[in-house]
A and B are shown apart, each in its own frame.
Chain A
Amino acid sequence: MNTEILGIIVMFGFTLLLAIPLGKYISKVYVGDKTILDFIFNPLERFIFKVSGINAKHEMTWKEHIAALLTINLLWFLMSMAILMHMEYLPLNPDGNPNMSADLAFNTSISFLVNCNLQHYSGETGISYLGQVWLMFLQFVTAGIGIASATVIFKAFREKTTTQLGNFYNYFLKSCTRILLPISLLIAAVLLLEGTPMTFEGKDKIVSQEGTEVEVSRGPVAAFVPIKHVGTNGGGFFGANSAHPLENPSYLTNMTEMFAQFIIPMAMIFAFGFFIRKKKFAWMMFSVMTIGFLLLSVPTILMEMNGNPAITQMGIDNSLGAMEGKEIRFGAAASGFWSIVTTVISTGSINSMHDSAMPLSGLTQMIAMMTNAFYGGVGAGVLNFFVFIILAVFISGLMVGRTPEFMGKKIEAREMKIAMIIALTHPLLILVSTALATSFPQYGASTLNNPSFHGFSEILYEYTSSAANNGSGFEGLGDNTAWWNITTGFVLLLGRFLPIIGPIAIAGLLAQKKFIPEGEGTLRTDTSTFGLMVFAVIAIIAALAFFPALALGPIAEYFSMK
């Protein structure tokens, strides 16, 4: 078999194989059962809680959870603005990179705060090492927030009737110490051996073999890249992200980074099943997500491997595939595969330039972010999917003429309203802001790198990526302008916090309700029929809402090339 295809299959299979035991481990961590790392982390966490004045045993209601979450995020935002706007006066800046402007710092802070990492600066020239280390810190903690939020939902369905949903700080810290940190250290070891740099020295000057003088950017890359993937953040150390040969030096590191971003989103599904003692339900979720993922990734891989038809027509040897914007050491297949992995799970790191991908690959990448529920980001994926489940339960309930119930709780008007608002916010944010940017050509069209339909796709992609908290881009877009920094900043904020607050509120409301034991007429939510229902809801709400916009961008471009 083709070695490129084999590489992808093994990457996927290996991740799945490890996701189940990791899911079990994650579930144990939050239940509070014994795990192998207790001997280090029990005393460490006790110490941190003690000096921070936090009682980790105090159980919170859903409203307290949201208050704690928003407070700590606001704090990080202020600290981030202060650091990014004063890098010139702070240490660890060997290359003498400048301060960020207020609007760029606003965009960067929010974008790292919401686990998106849309980057309107270039790592080599726009930020100091201190700034990079700060962003690395945000990559840890915002992933921790995502996992903690998902755990609140887990907790709401574990107990029969409760208002006590665990301690937010406890979930948050455990996510960082027991899940993100150990995995990141393992990944870092592989990267270091393959040649990813870890140094605080600045740029190096070298003379090339042909005699030209060039500079080589370096930095503490091997600490930054693991958490960028493990936390599904995706913000690159260098401008070219994981296409850069120091950030992703070999096929082995490519497989490793792929695994790193894929493993926790997958494991969280199984963790959900273990935590609420309903493994079959987790398999239903996993199947729906996997089918969605395969429907997007397989055609993308094929299109990238087939190459650009406009270049085939020129009569050259196009057998390597669409190599514009791609690296030889990964090849077209692994690049196409990565582009879907990174968009379904909201990482947003790239190992090839999505702007140069085939028109319909651009389409699948955007659909991956528009649905935003096939695996999804750490924690956030489960939250998004949860909203679709509530909708599916309600619609199925109406179809069979019964009161909709989920996990023994009645779903009523209040929960439905929240779920509908969350589900509709996503298309609303993307389509309205795209329409705005398109109608002001002096802000939108003037920043494009490509004409015609593809140019429109650049705008659509940017807002889709922001609302989905993904962070990848059609990077040709000249996006470091006040317009882009500020508009995407607000889309990012709403795209992150509404889909966290909404599901937590629904789960909190449901958890308080009386538990109704399963009976003859209960709609079972762990069957393939229900899975199909969820899939249909996702397809209708998420995908069809965007069809007109997609028709103007990638679909029109596809037909224009025929």
Chain B
Amino acid sequence: MKKHILPAFKLTLFSILLLAIIYPFVVWSMARLAPNNGKGKVLTYNGVKHYTNIGQSFTDDKYFWSRPSAVDYNAAGSGGSNKGPSNDEYLATVHTRIDNFLIHNPGVKKSDIPVDLITASGSGLDPNFSIQAAKVQVERIAKIRNLEANKLFHLIEQNIEKPLWGIFGPEKINVLKLNIELDKMSQ
């Protein structure tokens, strides 16, 4: 073993130079060509900066609610609830979320509530929800904002992000973008 120590040590130093210094530097240089110089995609509205990919908490009735989150959408951390599917306490929480949704959205049928609105995402920062999750909230928002429901449905249609190249993966909506468009519309 002894005769291997010195060569192993020197080999380690040069591997560090190549893999832990040169490689990240090359990626960092490539990032100069990426959106926002590799500091994360942002969008600015009314002079306020938002991260497009980081979901935000929307619980106000005048906005489209985002999904529940185990970290309250504070991206200083991340994580899911890690509740098992048979956990009674967890199932009770889901029940409460359904009831709460029905109280704030009278007239909505229970069978129209999509599952993503009552379950927490894996990261706690999910920027998206499903099309149905937007549609089921239209009636409430139309009433509060004094807007025609049709206009809102149209807004939703415009904000649908199609599957990748039209063929791979699910359809979705970016909640932050949708809500900013909603604010613009109400002005």
CA distance A283 to B178 in the complex (A): 50
- Best-buried of B27, B85, B176 by chain A (most CB within 10 Å): B85
- The reply to whether A244 and B78 contact each other, CB–CB distance below 8 Å, is yes
Stretch at the interface among A248-256, A462-470, A513-521, A536-544: A248-256
- The residue in chain A whose Cβ has the minimal distance to the Cβ of B161 is A329
The listed residue (B19, B28, B38, B73) touching A208 by CB distance below 8 A is B73
Q: Let me know if B57 and A324 touch, CB within 8 A.
A: no
Whether B11 pairs with A52 at a CB distance below 8 angstroms is yes
Contact A454 B169 (CB under 8 A): no
Query: For chain B, which range describes its interface: under 10, 10 to 19, 20 to 34, or 35 or more residues?
Result: 35 or more
Task: Check A71 against B4 for contact (C-beta < 8 Å).
Answer: yes
Question: Which single residue of chain A is at the shortest CB-CB distance from B125?
Answer: A245
Question: Given that A3-B167, A181-B23, A475-B79 are known contacts, is A245 also in contact with B53, CB under 8 Å in the complex?
Answer: yes
CB <8 Å contact, B4 and A325: no
Would you list which residues of chain B between 2 and 21 have a CB under 8 Å from chain A? 4-12, 14-16, 18-20
Is B34 an interface residue when CB atoms closer than 8 A count as contact? yes
**Complex formed: what's the CA distance from A451 to B90 in Å?**
11
Residue in A48, A350, A457 with the greatest tally of chain B CB atoms within 10 Å:
A48
Which residue in A79, A350, A449, A452 is a CB contact (below 8 Å) of B83? A449
Task: Report Cα–Cα, A188/B24, bound state, in Å.
Answer: 10
Q: Is the CB of B169 within 8 A of A3?
A: yes
Partner of A317 from the list B11, B83, B112 (CB cut-off 8 Å) is B112
Asked whether A240 lies within 8 Å of B125 as measured between CB atoms, the reply is yes
* Residues of the A chain whose Cβ atoms lie less than 8 Å from the Cβ of B67: 328
Q: Is A243 an interface residue (CB 8 A)?
A: yes
Contacts of A255 in B (CB 8 A): 164, 168
Instruction: Kindly identify, within residues 80 to 104 of chain A, every residue whose CB is under 8 Å from any CB belonging to chain B.
Output: none
**Does A397 sit within 8 A of B, measured CB to CB?**
no
**Would you call A405 an interface residue if the criterion is a C-beta within 8 Å of the partner chain's C-beta atoms?**
no
- CB neighbours of A318 from chain B (8 A): 115
Check A476 against B82 for contact (C-beta < 8 Å): yes
Q: Is A453 an interface residue (CB 8 A)?
A: yes
Say yes or no: A197-B74 contact (C-beta < 8 A), given A75-B9, A209-B56.
no
- Is B60 within 8 A of A216, CB to CB? no
* Shortest Cβ distance from residue B56 to the other chain A in the assembled complex, whole angstroms: 4
Q: Contact between A240 and B122 (Cβ–Cβ < 8 Å)?
A: yes
A217–B77 touching, CB < 8 Å: yes
- For residues 141 through 180 of chain A, which have their beta carbon under 8 Å from a beta carbon of chain B? 141, 169, 172-173, 176-177
A22-41 interface code vs B (CB 8 A; 1 in, 0 out): 00000000000000000000
* A399 on interface, CB distance cutoff 8 Å: no
From A67, A207, A246, name the one whose CB has the most chain B CB atoms within 10 angstroms. Answer: A246
| Residues A225-272 near B (CB distance < 8 A) | 238-240, 243-246, 249-252, 254-255
Contact A217 B26 (CB under 8 A): no
Residues of A contacting B145 in the complex (Cβ-Cβ under 8 angstroms): none
Is B40 within 8 A of A197, CB to CB? yes
Tell me the complex Cα distance, A147–B86, Å.
41
User: Can you offer 7 A-B residue contacts whose CB atoms are under 8 A?
Assistant: A184-B23, A195-B41, A198-B31, A199-B39, A216-B40, A328-B170, A453-B86
Which residues of A come within 8 Å of B, CB atoms?
3-4, 6-7, 10, 44, 48, 51-54, 67-68, 70-72, 75-76, 79, 122, 124-125, 133-134, 136-137, 140-141, 169, 172-173, 176-177, 181, 184-185, 188-189, 192-193, 195-201, 203-204, 206-210, 212, 214-218, 220, 222-223, 238-240, 243-246, 249-252, 254-255, 307-308, 310-311, 314-331, 334-335, 350-353, 355-359, 449-454, 457, 474-476, 557, 560-561
Give 9 nearest A-B pairs by CB, closest first: A476-B82, A243-B122, A454-B84, A240-B78, A251-B169, A7-B168, A52-B10, A198-B31, A198-B38
